[in-house]
Amino acid sequence: MPLYRSRRYKILGGVCGGIAEWLGWDPTVVRILYVVGSIISVAFPGAIVYVVLWALMPNAPA
């Protein structure tokens, strides 16, 4: 299954929802892990990575 931005679990851009669908996880867990990872790791620029993934990941087919 290819990695797409989610249409169903979309809050901002659907990136975390798409990753959750791809992994078969709960979208809330992926969002929490992403935010915690962004806060804890100073070297991990979470907002920049999110915007890049938003631009590069294709939208899920309808």
Q: Is the pTM of this model over 0.75?
A: yes
Q: What is residue 47's predicted lDDT score, i.e. its pLDDT?
A: 85
Q: How many CB atoms lie within 10 A of CB 18?
A: 27
Contacts of 9 (CB under 8 A, 6+ apart): 16, 17, 18, 20, 21, 27
How many Å apart are CA 25 and CA 49, to the nearest integer? 20
- Mean pLDDT, consecutive 10-residue segments, the chain of 62 residues? 92 94 96 92 83 94 88
In whole angstroms, how large is the CA radius of gyration of the chain? 11
